[in-house]
Amino acid sequence: MSAATVSTNLDVMSVRDGRIGHRQDMSITLYDLAGADPELRFSPYCWRTKFALAHKGLPVETIPWRFTDKSAIAFSGQDRVPVIRDDGRAVADSWTIAEYLEDQYPSPTLFGGPGGRAHARFINAWADSILMPAIARLIIRDLLDIVAPQDRDYFRQSREARFGMTLEQTQMRREERLPAFRDLLVPVRLVLRNQAWLGGPAPSYADFILAGTLMWPRCSSRFELLEVGDPVGAWQERLLDLYGGLGRSAKRAA
Amino acid sequence: MSAATVSTNLDVMSVRDGRIGHRQDMSITLYDLAGADPELRFSPYCWRTKFALAHKGLPVETIPWRFTDKSAIAFSGQDRVPVIRDDGRAVADSWTIAEYLEDQYPSPTLFGGPGGRAHARFINAWADSILMPAIARLIIRDLLDIVAPQDRDYFRQSREARFGMTLEQTQMRREERLPAFRDLLVPVRLVLRNQAWLGGPAPSYADFILAGTLMWPRCSSRFELLEVGDPVGAWQERLLDLYGGLGRSAKRAA
């Protein structure tokens, strides 16, 4: 049983009590990328959504999904996860889901107001366009060892087309490239000098964007991206403990 | 007469009318980095402050300041600009000034709420740690041609110590490095696909951070950083027109 499922059971009552008549007595369903091991959940985008749901105290039931299960989420009108189903509504894309949750369940807030939402878009775009490709070049071959057997050909072909080289070449000499990767996190370190979270005194969706992004290498690889003593690591440790240890208890690749 | 001074005269009445008893009948004073030509104002951090003041509709009188005028701002307890004096209070550092202005003169907002402020800190840190050094490597030698004669030795020595090479070497083969610089702006382009400003439907301090940063090369160099057709360029054009063309009318290096 995953941590997400456990928190579902704990949270159902409070949400039902708070929203009688507003939603059905049913938790939100999340299609969540899984590996060969169905408990290994490693999508950085699904993790952003899981932290956002946990922050809102919304119960969630996760359905393990594989890259080649396109038909299972065809109802969402597209073919990538995360996809949530909430009381009959389907919402896809982690950013769109975050906005949906904020509009539908305003408290506690994910964004801290309209400016927070607008500026979080930049942090989301930065994570997607700068961090994600850089992390991919450090762990992409490791992912092949955890994806479901039926996903392996798809995974290799689609990623090799994206990077224009084999998975093995993409990840090659990663130790030498670690310092450049760590330099990408300088803006985060500067922020953490002045506030405990990217969201300020409390975590916001900005924290979940970065945390979700870092759950990807954490769950799928044993290659350590952060240096011991990095303030980003200390921030990550604090985040892993939130929501009953949702992040910390997540299964990791052996 | 600079655009900043013109807007002062226009805005004094409205601010005085709105804040009787709250502040003196005096505009805010800004110590603003200037070149040999006192009308050439090229500090990226002072520009962030000037856009923020204009956004708030606050009158400002700018005092041209040079790198070696340390004693002129000693009252602020440090030796860098921007420094503002507002009704006897001295505030230094562009971020600190933005927070001061937001707290002191809440409307119109710079941040759009507490989340907006927290997340703008990330954008500020990104601009300072990623964009600024990258722009420096494209224009730092050009700056030597515009700084005041008394600043030239200081400027060369301090910047050459920072980069560990001569100004000429730092800027060398800049054309080849332009594509890598432009790639740094990908997150901005992604945001602008979905909203008109980094601040959302209206500009926020996040826009002024980036705009101020880009006023630095705009005012001090004729080297074009952005490609024709870049959405960041279209955003910049719109920003230059705000507040009576505050940015557009700023003097540029010949």
Residue among A109, A128, A198 whose CB faces B122 most closely:
A198
Q: How far is CA B69 from CA B73, B140, B161, in A?
A: 7, 20, 20
Q: How confident is the model at residue A26 (pLDDT cuts 50, 70, 90)?
A: confident
B75-115: pLDDT as tens digits:
999 999 999 999 999 999 999 999 999 999 999 999 999 99
**A–B CB contacts, 8 A cutoff, strictly below:** 124
Q: What is the mean pLDDT of chain B?
A: 92
Q: Is the pLDDT of residue A13 over 50?
A: no
Q: Is the pLDDT of residue B21 over 60?
A: no
Residue among B115, B126, B204 whose CB faces A187 most closely:
B126
3-class secondary structure per residue, B26-74: CCEEEEEEECCCCCCECCHHHHHHHHHHHHCCCCEEEEEECCCCHHHHH
Q: B197 at the A interface (CB within 8 A)?
A: yes
Q: B113 at the A interface (CB within 8 A)?
A: yes
Q: How far is CA A104 from CA A22, A53, A98, in A?
A: 10, 12, 10
Q: A131 at the B interface (CB within 8 A)?
A: no
Please give the share of chain B, as a percent, with pLDDT higher than 90.
89
Q: Do A125 and B191 touch (CB under 8 A)?
A: yes
A122, A186, A191: best mutation site toward chain B, by most B Cβ within 10 Å?
A122
Chain A nearest-CA residue for B192: A122
Q: Is the pLDDT of residue A37 over 60?
A: yes
Strands B28-33 and B60-65: parallel
Task: Examine residue A38 and say whether the peptide bond preceding it is cis (omega within 30 degrees of 0).
Answer: no
Contacts of B93 (CB under 8 A, 6+ apart): B45, B78, B80, B82
Residue among B109, B187, B194 whose CB faces A115 most closely:
B109
A93-98: list long-range contacts, CB under 8 Å, 24+ apart: A93/A45, A94/A45, A94/A46, A94/A48, A94/A49, A94/A212, A95/A121, A95/A124, A97/A49, A97/A52, A98/A48, A98/A49, A98/A52, A98/A205, A98/A208
Q: Do B126 and A195 touch (CB under 8 A)?
A: no
Rounded CA separation A81/A75 (Å): 12
pLDDT at site A25: 55
Q: B209 at the A interface (CB within 8 A)?
A: no
Alpha helices in A63-204, H assignment, sequence order: 94-104, 114-126, 132-144, 152-163, 167-171, 174-184, 186-192
Rounded CA separation A63/B234 (Å): 43
Contact B198, A118 (CB under 8 A): yes
**Spatial CA neighbour of A202 closest among A233, A231, A243:** A243
Task: Examine residue B203 and say whether the peptide bond preceding it is cis (omega within 30 degrees of 0).
Answer: no
Rounded CA separation A220/A237 (Å): 17
Q: In what order do the strands lie in the sheet with B83-86?
A: B60-65, B28-33, B83-86, B89-92
A122-131: pLDDT as tens digits:
999 999 999 9
Chain B nearest-CA residue for A114: B112
By CB neighbour count within 10 A (0-12 exposed, 13-18 middle, 19+ buried), where does B19 fall? middle
pLDDT at site B25: 54
Contacts of B205 (CB under 8 A, 6+ apart): B48, B52, B55, B98, B102, B110, B111, B120, B199
Rounded CA separation A119/A187 (Å): 14
Contact A246, A50 (CB under 8 A): yes
Rounded CA separation A82/A48 (Å): 9
Q: How confident is the model at residue B4 (pLDDT cuts 50, 70, 90)?
A: very low
pTM of the model: 0.91
Q: How confident is the model at residue B26 (pLDDT cuts 50, 70, 90)?
A: confident
Q: Is the pLDDT of residue A66 over 80?
A: yes
Rounded CA separation A23/B89 (Å): 53
Residue among B122, B130, B204 whose CB faces A123 most closely:
B122
By CB neighbour count within 10 A (0-12 exposed, 13-18 middle, 19+ buried), where does A189 fall? middle
Residue among A118, A129, A194 whose CB faces B121 most closely:
A194
**Spatial CA neighbour of B6 closest among B84, B64, B59:** B59
Rounded CA separation B145/B155 (Å): 11
Q: In what order do the strands lie in the sheet with A83-86?
A: A60-65, A28-33, A83-86, A89-92
The average pLDDT across B194-202 equals 98
**Residues β-bridged to residue B84:** B30, B91
Q: Do B118 and A195 touch (CB under 8 A)?
A: yes
B145-164: pLDDT as tens digits:
999 999 999 999 999 999 99
The two tokens of residue A159 are 């990623």
ipTM of predicted complex:
0.91
Q: Phi/psi at A64 (nearest 5 deg)?
A: -65, 135
Contacts of A84 (CB under 8 A, 6+ apart): A28, A29, A30, A31, A49, A60, A90, A91, A92, A97, A100
Q: Is the pLDDT of residue B9 over 50?
A: no
The end-to-end CA distance of chain B, in Å, is 18
